[in-house]
């Protein structure tokens, strides 16, 4: 859920609550570089924390170390941004990371030894549209009585447009992550160059 409790009647879900976008990678990767790439992509696409800055992304961080020294980590990011044009709508993005059995590893690349990580990361992505105008309607008894009419006749079309837009952006995010981890993608269009070079080394791909 979003960092701050928002009444359910003001939230439009982009995906069913029980079926978020999911991604999983299990192999060698640089966890720090993945974190940096994710944050840069989100900043470039206008996402900020729920206070409107780029400082307080983490709503939760839990870490435990197993007997063999491996780490299991849960990280929750809670982000938001205003919908373009429609300032009475706001986008919310929840990203949950689950890192499993994370251990230090080393690889040789271009003749240099790199200290990286080995393990599994799973991501869960949820997105919402907040209908902010409903809060103002609730403060006025007359507006409250006609809130349903405005929602259906005036704002419904704009919400549908923004819902499709946010849906497409979430799949662009999913594709970015797949590209970073060198996972298979099935795209109906020519892919643009990725300005965030991958720091993942799947064992099924032979490095050139």
203 domain residue, yes or no: no
Helix (DSSP H) and strand (DSSP E) numbers for the chain:
5, 8
Q: Which domain holds residue 176?
A: 8-183
Answer whether 123's CB lies under 8 Å from 9's CB: no
CA distance 181 to 171: 15
127 domain residue, yes or no: yes
Task: Give the tens place of pLDDT for each residue, 53-103.
Answer: 777 889 999 999 999 999 999 999 999 999 987 778 999 999 999 999 999
207 domain residue, yes or no: no
175 domain residue, yes or no: yes
201 domain residue, yes or no: no
Task: Give the tens place of pLDDT for each residue, 149-162.
Answer: 555 656 778 889 99
Tell me the Cα Rg of the chain: 20
C-alpha distance from residue 128 to each of 11, 18, 59, 141, 173 (Å): 6, 14, 17, 27, 15
Mean pLDDT of the chain: 84
20 domain residue, yes or no: yes
Total domains, the chain: 1
pTM above 0.85, yes or no: no
Q: What is the mean pLDDT of residues 32-43?
A: 94
Angle value at C-alpha 170, between 169 and 172, nearest 5 degrees: 60
Specify the pLDDT at position 208. Answer: 44
Name the residue with tokens 């994370």: 102
Query: Is residue 139 over pLDDT 70?
Result: no
193 domain residue, yes or no: no
Token representation of residue 187: 């795209």
């Amino acid at each position: 859920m979003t960092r701050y409790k928002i009444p359910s009647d003001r939230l439009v879900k982009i995906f069913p609550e029980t079926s978020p976008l999911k991604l999983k990678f299990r192999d060698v990767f640089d966890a720090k570089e993945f974190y940096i790439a994710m944050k840069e992509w989100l900043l470039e696409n206008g996402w900020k924390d729920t206070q409107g800055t780029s400082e307080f992304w983490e709503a939760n961080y839990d870490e435990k170390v197993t007997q063999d020294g491996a780490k299991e980590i849960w990280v929750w990011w809670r982000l938001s941004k205003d919908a373009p044009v429609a300032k009475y709508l706001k986008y919310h993005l929840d990203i949950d990371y689950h890192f499993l059995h994370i251990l230090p590893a080393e690889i040789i690349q271009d003749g240099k030894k790199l200290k990286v990580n080995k393990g599994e990361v799973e991501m869960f992505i949820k997105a919402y549209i907040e209908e902010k105008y409903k809060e103002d309607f609730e403060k006025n008894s007359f507006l409250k009585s006609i809130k349903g009419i405005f929602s259906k006749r005036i704002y419904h079309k704009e919400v549908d447009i923004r819902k499709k837009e946010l849906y497409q952006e979430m799949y662009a995010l999913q594709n970015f992550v797949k590209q970073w981890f060198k996972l298979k993608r099935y795209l109906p269009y020519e892919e643009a160059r990725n300005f965030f070079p991958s720091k993942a080394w799947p064992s099924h791909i032979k490095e050139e």
